[in-house]
Amino acid sequence: MERQDWFDGIYTSTYRAVIGCAYFIVLDRDIAAEITHDAFLRLWEHHGRLVRGSNEKAWLIRVVTNLGISYRRSQGAAWRRHVDHQEPVDPGLHALNNLELVRVRRALLRLEPRDRAVISLRFDSGLGFAEIGAIVGKSENTVKTRFHRAIDTLRRQLGDASPFDVDSRFKDGSNA
Amino acid sequence: MPDHDSIEQRLTDFYHRSRVAMSGPVPRWDPSAARVVKHGWGRQLMFAGAAAVFIVAVFAGARYLRLNQSPPAGQNQAVTSPTAEASATPQPTPTPSPFTGNCKLPVSWGDIGMPLSGGFVTFPGASFAPDSSASGLTTPYGQNWASYDTPMRRWVPVTREMLSPDGTTWLYGTLGRGMIYHAVDVRTGTDTTLWGSDQMFRIIGLDNSFAYAMLSGTGGAQLWRLPLDGSQGYQLKVNGTWQFVNHGAAWGTGSASLPPGAPFSLQRFDMQAKTITTWVQLSGPGSLVGFDANGAPIVQVGGPGGDVIVAPSPGAQRPVAKAVTFGKGPGEMSLPALGDAHGIWLGQTDGIYLSVNGVASKQSSVQAYLAGPCN
């Protein structure tokens, strides 16, 4: 398969998943788009170097997650918000921009990027702790500890009055 | 507010709804546009050299000044001002032509996750003044926006596309079992729930009597007409995916998403005559960026930085502006081009332009969204 065809197929089929992972760590669309672009650039450069049978999507998720964790916010990124192109509005989707989303986003922003990655890989991607550990380069036990601490922090920040009780689907790591 | 029982439920909702909000066409891959992410900003600076340090200093300084500048005397201290700094993006250099008409152009601006502010650029002279009554607007569901309702002379918390042409009604949505849309009477504040709240309708616009919505069905996408008085809606017998409603017509590119680089095609569905017309057909990519005063679509050709044209009739194209880079804002924003009796306004990254007879002239350095026609 030609390099371009190989790349185009992966790009088209995985772009949304990859940029979603990036977004849920940095919580900024523009930065997420940059990180995603960088991840795909690395994929392009790795053509022919990935082990046969590699799961490129998993490789991209790992790359983009670690890029997101190590990203340093800069004035440059803030500036670029003003000069990037704006896709046409979708009036229906605009309705989803609501107070609850803003509150949860703000609470997540107070976590460390690595904890945001753990939370999003758990709740958004539905991964088990062992898989998350493989992605972020930490042991399963470390990931579990960070996960529970982060959840506890979020619960305090978001004012969830009910006793903390993580759904078993997320707690035992068996849904991966 | 939705009912949230636990932190995991709230997180699950957050991720799900954010995913929905991020859906849309996959952008075209362009390796030449790569912007390598800064990992370890300080280390990058060391290697970037004096030039990069200078650029960063200029940007940081401009931002610092912007964040710390005092609002004009007598203005509400809580109202921030839109940016008015020079853009790093090359811009067209049209023949200077200051607009000499007499009107006030409503504009809005804001930061991510925060309510928008609003104000007016007044012509002639292009003087700018914030309007404190536009600050902090939200819908009952917490959506933040600021558009100017010209007929009613007041600000509303939704995008222009969610405001009826006569200015009497604006729409907002909440997420329940389905997508629940509400019509708010501007004069009385009466809130009416539209029919079909158990369905995942997606509103694409409204006229003075009906909202128009897309619904995914087993036979494909469906276009529905939902009365603003809350009475039962009905399906319009037309195929295809439609994205906007304007001047009695629905407009669409024929598909919910297009592959990267796909030729742009824009269809018009006349909802009275029940006819579909291919209005614009490009050989490459394009995007609908607004409508002129007569309801003709304004299209950007070739993507960001491309030329902008208006299509007054099927197959006909007239130039509006060359090499346009529209401004970008928090979340989804309103259409960045707006036609009124004076011409076509363009909210660009370095300010506001007005195009008349195919020539666009910069009229203001205010960087803001177009919140309504100049009136």
> Are A80 and A98 members of one domain?
no
Q: Which residues of B touch A27 (CB under 8 A)?
A: none
| B116 against B356, higher pLDDT | B356
Contact list in B for residue A80 (CB cut-off 8 A) is: 35
Q: Which B positions 43-62 lie with beta carbon below 8 A of chain A?
A: 56, 59-60
Residues of A in contact with B215 (CB under 8 A): none
Q: Is residue A42 domain-shared with residue A73, that is, in the same domain?
A: yes
Q: Per mean pLDDT, which of A17-26, B56-65, B246-255 is the most reliable? A: A17-26
In angstroms, the CA B208 to CA B211 distance is 8
Q: Where are the alpha helices (DSSP H) in chain B?
A: 7-21, 41-68
Of A45-59, B56-70, B120-134, B338-352, the least confident: B56-70
Whether residue A138 is found in the same domain as residue A76: no
The string of pLDDT tens digits covering residues B200-230 is 888 889 999 999 998 877 777 889 999 999 9
Residue B219's pLDDT is 73
- pLDDT tens across A15-72, in order? 888 998 998 998 887 788 888 888 888 888 777 776 656 678 888 998 999 888 887 6
Residue with token string 């380069």? A137
Q: 3-class DSSP state for residue B149?
A: strand
Q: Are residues A5 and A37 in the same domain?
A: yes
Q: What is the pLDDT of residue B34?
A: 45
Instruction: Give the closest residue to B368 by CA, choosing from B353, B347, B337, B354.
Output: B347
The pLDDT assigned to B226 comes to 96
A56 and A106 in one domain?
Answer: no
CB contacts of B161 in chain A (<8 Å) are 89, 91
Q: Residue A143: what pLDDT?
A: 92
* Beta-carbon separation of A93 and B21 below 8 A: yes
- Compare all CA atoms of chain A with the CA of B40 and give the residue at the minimum distance: A72
**CATH label of the domain that carries residue A141:** 1.10.10.10
Please tell me whether residue B275 adopts helix, strand or coil conformation: strand
Let me know if B241 is exposed, middle or buried by CB neighbors in 10 A (0-12, 13-18, 19+).
Answer: buried
Q: Does B187 touch chain A (CB under 8 A)?
A: no
Contacts of A5 in chain B (CB under 8 A): none
Does one domain contain both A79 and A125?
no
ipTM of this complex > 0.90?
A: no
- pLDDT tens per residue across span A114-126: 999 999 999 888 8
Same-domain pairing of A78 and A96? no
Three-state secondary structure along chain A? CCHHHHHHHHHHHHHHHHHHHHHHHHCCHHHHHHHHHHHHHHHHHCCCCCCCCCCHHHHHHHHHHHHHHHECCCHHHHHHHHHCCCCCCCHHHHCCCCHHHHHHHHHHHCCCHHHHHHHHHHHCCCCCHHHHHHHHCCCHHHHHHHHHHHHHHHHHHHCCCCCCCCCHHHHCCCCC
Distance CA A83, CA B91 (A): 11
Same domain, residue pair A97 and A146: yes
Q: pLDDT tens-digit profile of B68-84?
A: 333 333 233 333 445 44
Tell me whether A8 touches chain B (CB under 8 Å). yes
A102 and A40 housed in the same domain: no
Q: Which range, A84-98, B21-35, B58-72, B341-355, is most confident? A: B341-355
Q: Among B105-109, B115-119, B162-166, B232-236, name the one with the lowest average pLDDT.
A: B115-119
Tell me, what's the pLDDT at A82? 35
Domain boundary among A84, A113, A136: A84
Give me the residues of A, 71-110, that contact B with CB < 8 A: 71-72, 74-102, 104-106, 108
Backbone angles phi, psi at A99, to 5 degrees: -60, -40
Q: Do A102 and B304 touch (CB under 8 A)?
A: no
Task: Give the global pTM.
Answer: 0.56
Neighbours of A4 (CB within 10 A): 11
Domain end residue (candidates: A52, A84, A116): A84
pLDDT at A53: 60
SS3 track for B65-94: HHHHCCCCCCCCCCCCCCECCCCCCCCCCC
- First-residue to last-residue Cα distance in chain B: 36
The terminus-to-terminus CA distance of chain A in angstroms comes to 31
CATH number at residue A13: 1.10.1740
Residue A61 contacts residue A21 (beta carbons within 8 Å): yes
Question: Is A67 found in the same domain as A3?
Answer: yes
Higher model confidence: residue A100 or residue B146? B146
Show which of A38, A65, A84 is a domain's final residue. Answer: A84
State how many domains chain A has. 2
Chain B residue with CA closest to A124: the answer is: B15
For residue B50, what are the contacts with CB-CB under 8 A and spacing of at least 6? none
User: Are A76 and A120 members of one domain?
Assistant: no
On whether both A123 and A167 belong to a single domain, the answer is yes
Determine contact: A158 vs chain B, CB below 8 A. Answer: yes
d(CA A133, CA A135): 5
From CA B327, how far away is CA B351, in angstroms rounded?
Answer: 8
Q: Which range among A93-97, A113-117, B216-220, B311-315 shows the weakest confidence by mean pLDDT? A: A93-97
Is A168 within 8 Å of chain B by CB?
A: no
Domain that holds residue A25: 1-84
CA distance B264 to chain A (A): 14
